[in-house]
Amino acid sequence: MKNQNSPKTLADLKWLPYLLSALGAVAFSQYFCLKSSSHFTLLFALLMFPLFRKRYSRGNGFTKSSAICGALFSLFTIGSALIGQEQIQPTFSKLEQFSPFIATFIMFFFFYEALCFVLLQKLETITLTADRAEPSAQSKLKVFFGSMAVMLIMWLPFLLYSYPAVMTEDSIWQLQQAAGLKPLNNHHPVFHTLIIRLTFNIGKLIFGDDTRAVLVCTVTQQLFLSACFAYLIETLYKFKAKKCLIIGSLLFYCIPVYHGMYSVTMWKDVWFGGIIAVMSALIWRLLCKEKKFRLSAAEAVILFVFSVAMCLMRSNGLYAYPLLLIGSIFVFFRRSKLTIAVMAASLAAAVIINGPVYKAMNVEPGDVIDPLSIPDQQIAAVAANPNNLTPEQKELLSKVIEIDKIDDMYTYFISNPIHDLIREKNNQQYIAEHKSEFLKLWADLGMAYPEKYFRAYINQTSGYWFPDIQYWVTSTSCFTEGFDIKPESKAGFMTDTLTFYINSYIETPFLGLVWSIGMGVWVFLFMTGAAMRRHRRSVFLVYLPVMAIWLTLLAATPVHAEFRYIYCLFTAMPLFCAIPCMDTKICAEASEVKEKISENTDVKVTAEVHDDTDEAEEVAKELTDHPESTEQ
């Protein structure tokens, strides 16, 4: 006979919260290199106990969302111990009988999983959907233009402070191309350069001087960015979001400095951030449509234009968009083939423009090494010591780089010094012509020195997955080479206050988290899991554009924590955080309804699933509520 006292659920294991609290405290004490006598270890345990007691109070097992988030956050935390390290040293060496990183990973996993589980349960009780009718077209227009006006007013001090614009070295190079002083080069997207050319020429035509012509470029960018953000806010309003969410989203675009400063900075990344915000909001609109995701003419135009812009405004946008198209095929194929057709046509148009059209315009391609930052850094980490190379490997590398200079130039968090060294040799064409040989070199060195490769990857990508990485975010420079541009702050008495405000995140606790790429990624991943718990799996499509961009950075970022490269994560953040708390229904695919019926009734049901989604959901609910009525 079974022991009547044997535990039936995790809640019956009364000792479990005590054990996990102790293990979690040990993990944190080892991570922070505390001594065995430190009182903080006990404090960690006491603080964690309520969390674990609440987590296992009902005997719940792991959920997909909490387990995946817990595993990722634990992995990121363990990886952070290696950032900047010359040697990979175990952070858990005091318990020699355990594999160092696996033991620490498991301990952190239970902590993060419990934290995510409790937060997910709390989110399920929150609703940010108001009980009101869908707003009228006039009301939506008021919200759209009202939001734009508020943002432009709040960004005005930054325009006065940076008059006529913030222009870095990248900016002035593009402006020189736009003005015809240098040939067009696709290192920075020609699509963006042509926008600069158009607005700059309009400014020159109207005002006749370079300074105010640049101002026209800045104002145009501010109008575009505020319109994109207003579209996202109007989307939330359209789907009956509560006023607190609407106001909170508007404040998010007005208060953090990076939105205001980026609105006056001549960068492609700013436009790209607005494009991704619109794409994510539009996908959410399409998912929430009733009856077959019907695509209106206006939506089709927006989808086409912004899809093409996504592919052309940044090079990794063209790599990320096919992932979005594949995901859209799974979601929209049965309901709206027109949506798939528009997206496929957008990709085709972008490929044609990026290829034959730019070639006909005599656009110079970007450097061969531009997308090779991570493998270049990994090879450099090994080649910094020439003794690690065989004579054959030295001969191959010496064709494109001065090997003796690698040790002095190699910087673990940015590839620019190594790439500049390659450019000095001026033989990038050799890399293009001998791809297989360099691929073999990369693979051979990786097999011989896996720890160096792993460390180089950790260092090169650290800012995109760990919160406690600080790097510059905004610039206040204004390069003017080749133009009669006269930068002059017109902020007056606000200048000192704005200077402090712009730099306050560096020293202010908690405020730095708002600027942290890693923190933004953690919130994004958590909200993705929360959204998929509350809604259908197809909601992942809203998060996919940013997810794809993030993955391209993990594969090819030239800098370990360049905020502007992932600015699109922060432009759509209000939507990402709102969806898990919204009660808006997402229309189901017929296959999803069938699967839901099968899961809830545990019977084999043969039925016709209606094209009308609402009717199909009613059938599913009927069978779920009355499983005894089904035929076996």
DSSP assignment string, 310-336: HHHHSHHHHHHHHHHHHHHHHHHTTT-
Q: Are residues 555 and 601 in the same domain?
A: no
391 shares a domain with 351: no
The predicted-structure confidence for 466-522, as pLDDT tens digits, reads as follows: 999 989 999 999 999 999 999 999 999 999 999 999 988 888 888 889 999 999 999
Same domain, 600 and 575: no
Q: What is the pLDDT of residues 481-497, one digit of tens each?
A: 999 999 999 999 999 99
**Residue 565 counted as domain residue:** yes
Q: Which residues contact 424 (CB under 8 A, 6 or more apart)?
A: 402
pLDDT digits (tens, 9 = 90+) for 107-128: 899 999 999 999 999 999 999 9
Asked if residue 326 and residue 272 are part of one domain, the reply reads yes
In a domain, 3, yes or no: no
**170 and 57 inside one domain:** no
Please, what is the average pLDDT of the chain? 88
Residue 489 forms part of a structural domain: no
Binning the chain into helix, strand and coil, the percentages to the nearest 5 are 70, 0, 30
Answer yes or no: do 610 and 540 share one domain: no
Same domain for 213 and 338, yes or no, is yes
Residue 2, in any domain of the structure: no
Q: State the pLDDT at residue 630.
A: 37
Segments forming the whole domain that contains residue 333? 137-366+494-579
Residues 327 and 414 in one domain: no
Residue type, 239: F
Flag whether 405 is in a domain: yes
Residues 416 and 558 in one domain: no
Same domain, 71 and 31: yes
Structure tokens at 157: 């001090």
Angle between helix axes 337-352 and 297-313 (nearest 10 degrees) is 30
Is 73 inside a domain boundary? Answer: yes
pTM, full prediction: 0.88
The answer to the question of residue 483 being in a domain is no
Query: Does residue 600 form part of some domain?
Result: yes
Last residue of a domain, one of 464, 483, 502: 464
Examine the domain organization and report whether 264 and 175 are in the same domain: yes
Calculate mean pLDDT across residues 244-269.
Answer: 97
Q: Which of 398-402, 533-537, 591-595 has the lowest mean pLDDT?
A: 591-595
The rounded distance, in Å, linking the Cα atoms of 533 and 292 is: 23
Q: How many domains does one find in the chain?
A: 4
